[in-house]
Each structure stands twice: as C-alpha cells, then as structure tokens.
Structure 1
C-alpha cells in the first residue's frame, strides 16, 4: 500500500528552488481505542502541501527544512545540514493528530503526538539521489516508509541535478549515505 508520488519544492524569497523531493510515503503507528491498541497505516496523500514554515535556511542561523502538511494536522519535516562537500537530512520529524477520525477512528485521545529520528541520509552537493526500493525510517512510535524517492537540497540550478545515482537495492535510507561515499 502506498499513495501516489508527489513533488515537493521549497523556494527562497526570489522563488528559486533550494530543496526538491519526489516520493510517496506510508506511515505506521498505533493508538489506543476503547477496545485496546490498534495499528494503523496511512499514506501521504497526493494533495499534501509544502508549508510556508519550510525554509531555505539562513547562513549560520537556521538550516533548510521541508515541511509537508496533510490531513487533519499531520506534518512531516526534513531538516537539512551541509558541509563543504555533502548535505544530509540531519533530522526527520513527524507530527500527527489523533483527533483526525479519518485516520484514527475511535481514538480515546485527541492529542497531537510527535516523533523524530536522527538520520544518516547524505549526498554530495549538486547531486540527486534516487532510491526506487522502499526505505524505512524507524522512530520511537512511528515507521515512515518512502517509495521511489528522489531528494536534493542546496540546489544550484532550480531543478534536480542531472547527475546522481540510482540505487535499486536500497533497503534503508542509510544505504544512500553508504553508497555515496
């Protein structure tokens, strides 16, 4: 099960793209109902939007971030960092709202929960990386599975680089970092 792939773009004040991502994603978590715990899997919908809280970052003041919103108060946030030769997804976080009855029917709580994970997703500057296999990021209470993912930050020409590698056997996002070395 996974939804349609979508393209997400973060632009600076001049409308120049600094982050681009193209992927579909599924989320697996559990919540409590009157009858006990229940596992739920749901997909990032094709109408998910990049929030204006996304940012290209400011030199030494903030890191670039891609914040994607969907459904009744759910957000996926990828925060990037770089050095002279590589960029990485430094932190991934997911916020989900149990009051969304479409995804969490019969939840006994209506609280908003969050989860995050440090990642080792890493790529060379000015290169895109594409993984056609499914990649799972395990957080404490949520597993995010990316499908057919292409991600690039610190864009130099307002679009995905023509240079990059495709990794058909990716099983984890960390494979990207290992194979890029």
Structure 2
C-alpha cells in the first residue's frame, strides 16, 4: 500500500484565549489524508524559555510563545512503514515538530525538534549567535496503545542545551484509524485518575471557548514555617560539577500576597556546568521552575564567582498553564573566590521584580571547581558573621561605663561645692 500523501491543508487551526506574556496560545491541528479524513489530530499549548549569549558575553533569558501566524508545512499522516510528523512554524523563523512511529500495538513520539531563530531581534535582542539553532529531544513519550488518545492536562517540560520546552493541555493522536479519533484516553502520569476527561473540540465549542474567561487559579495556603532545606547537584559525566544546599521560598505580592515553599522531595535538579558560567535549574514538580545562573568575574585581580541571574516561572498547579514568568539578570550576589564555596545560613532576599521575591535559607553553594563531591572552604556572608558582635557589645559596655563615671564625677563636684559659704 502506498503511503498517504502529504495533506494540502489542515482542517482547523484555531487559537484559544489571548496571546500575552503570561499565557501562550493554544493551537489545534487536524491533518487529513488524500481521502480527506483525519489521520493525525493534535491540540496543545506550549512555551519556550531560552538562554542565549549576547555580544557582551553576558547571558539573557528569552521567552518564546506561539504567535497568531502559524503554519503546518511538512506535516505527514504516516503509515505502517513511514513515520507520522506533526510540524508547525511560527513567528520569525521558529519551528517545532514531533515525529511519531508505531508498531502493531503502540505508537510513540520518537523525538521532538525545535528550531529558534536568533535573528528575531524582538525575542533575542543583541544575540551573539545569529541564525537558526536546532534542539532535538529523543524518547519524548512512552508507548501509547494504538487508537488511544494521549492526554496530559498538567505540565511536561524538556530541558536541553539551554532550552526549556513547556507543554500543557495536550490532546494528541497520530495514526487515526478511519478518520475517527479514539474514545479511550491514555493519560500522562502527572494527571490524576479522577481528572476530568478532555472534550475533543469542534468548531462550535472552540469558538465558545475563545470567549470564556478562565477562572483564577486556586492559590496554595500560606506556609507557616521556613522551607525545608534541599540538597542539589549537577554532574559532567561521573564528576560532580556543582553543589547547592538551600531552602527556597517564593513571595508573590501580585493580586493576593502568597508565599510558596519549594519542596525538595518533589524538586528535580538539572542545568549546565562550564568554566565561566553555570546554571542550576530546579523544577518543583508541575508548579515552579527556578533557574540560578552563576558567572566568573575574570577581570578582577582575584577570580571570583557570583550569582548573575535568576529566572522564575510559576505554573498553575491545576492545569499547568504559565501564570507568571520573570527574571532578573543584573545580580551581583553570593560572591566568593573561585575554588571556594559561598555560605549564608540567615535568610536572604533576591528581588526578581516588584511583585516577586525569592527567599533563601541555609544557603551553601559552589558552582565551580568542585573536588571529590564536597564543598570547598566556605566564605560566609556578613549576616552570619557573629564575631563582629563581640567588639560591638564590648564597645557599647565601655561607652556606657564611661558615661556613668562622667555623670558620677559631675554630681560629686556639685556636692563638694555645696559645703562652702561665701564670706
């Protein structure tokens, strides 16, 4: 049997809700074969966080969303001998695709390919590298039973080569049989068994959805205690290249004030190590992404490292949508001599924006030159330096004693004058 021909068009390409900074667009693609019946169906939302180098050798974080101009050139239905391909192009030279293969019982996403174009100056101002950059993620999905619809309401993210791809509200089925989308769902592990099933959209209900305002996400209760301290590390091969021990708390003052403690038990550490730059990426389940970027100050007489940038992405824990994304790339904190570590047991505050702060507790970090999987000698912050209190207390006591002596001397002289009478 000859493989199905590539479609000449797609049935639906619709966007739900507003396309703004905090919320990506939703796209729906219905690919049809030569007989004009559905062979591949997908609806999903996605967002990209990209770290790139500038001409001044600094690093910045860019946020890339789907735009209102999306095409699907290259999408292929697939067959028993040919992989299915879902491909979209958007913005100024950006593209994303997923490749599906199948056997007699299951299908799976073999790899995801994402290409971003740093010539898009609106997204990548002052980018040092010009042109398209391609990232490939392999084994992007576990096998799914044929004729089942893959559904994942919650957030899934893939991190590779300074790019974080974030997906949520995914409904997808390649190799659709007889043009009929399957009625049985295969859920991702993040979705609870009791989660509401996805309603496969039609033209009617998609149009209605575009005018419906989503309810505000339910906020978590304010934590009564300081966060639990977590231990995180990165490796290059079998060698540890970054160590961090810290308790983290987010303070969000946007709308209703909210404190969020980061739970180390559900937090995964990832990132990159380098000679002059290192990034620790913490993913707290399906809720919070925090990136810490450290750099080396090579221009100083004594080489030091310091915290340069912090990026925070807050996700709606109910449906995984992005509700807050902010970064500050102008820090100069947590500095220590290269080869040493930095320690601060007391609470510190990193102000990301006016509405977002990150509080740290029991901090101990070493992003460079880690030896034998252990922290090197720690340079402590001034908040922890209790030795400075000793001279302050002694000085205050001596000053008080001097004041008492002076007052007693003045009173004594006045009493001595009172014993004499004028002749």
Alignment of 1:97 with 2:117, yes or no, is yes
Aligned residues: 170
Corresponding residue of 2:86: 66
Could you list the runs of 4 or more consecutive aligned residues of structure 1 that deviate by over 6 angstroms after TM superposition?
none
* Aligned ranges 1:1-181 → 2 under 5 Å: 1-35=22-56, 36-51=58-73, 53-60=74-81, 62-121=82-141, 122-167=143-188, 169-170=190-191
Instruction: Give the aligned CA root-mean-square deviation in angstroms.
Output: 2.0
Structure 1 residue ranges without an equivalent (≥5): 173-181
Residues 24 and 66 in structure 2, CA contact (< 8 A), matched pair in contact too: yes
Structure 2 residue ranges without an equivalent (≥5): 1-21, 192-284, 287-423
Q: CA deviation at 1:164?
A: 1.0
1:93-115 CA deviation, whole Å, 9 max, x = no partner? 10111101121122133221101
Q: CA deviation at 1:156?
A: 1.2
- Give the helix-richer structure, 1 or 2: 2
SS at match of 2:139: strand
The two structures have a TM-score, normalised by structure 1, of 0.84
1:41-79 CA deviation, whole Å, 9 max, x = no partner? 22123542211x11113542x311011100011111100
Q: Which has the higher contact order (CA 8 A, sep 6+)?
A: 1
Change (3 A) 1:45 1:161: farther
Residues 115 and 141 in structure 1, CA contact (< 8 A), matched pair in contact too: no
Q: In structure 2, what is the Cα distance between the partners aligned to 1:59 and 1:161?
A: 18
Residues 138 and 144 in structure 1, CA contact (< 8 A), matched pair in contact too: yes
Residues 148 and 185 in structure 2, CA contact (< 8 A), matched pair in contact too: yes
- Give the strand-richer structure, 1 or 2: 1
The two structures have a TM-score, normalised by structure 2, of 0.38
Change (3 A) 1:119 1:154: same
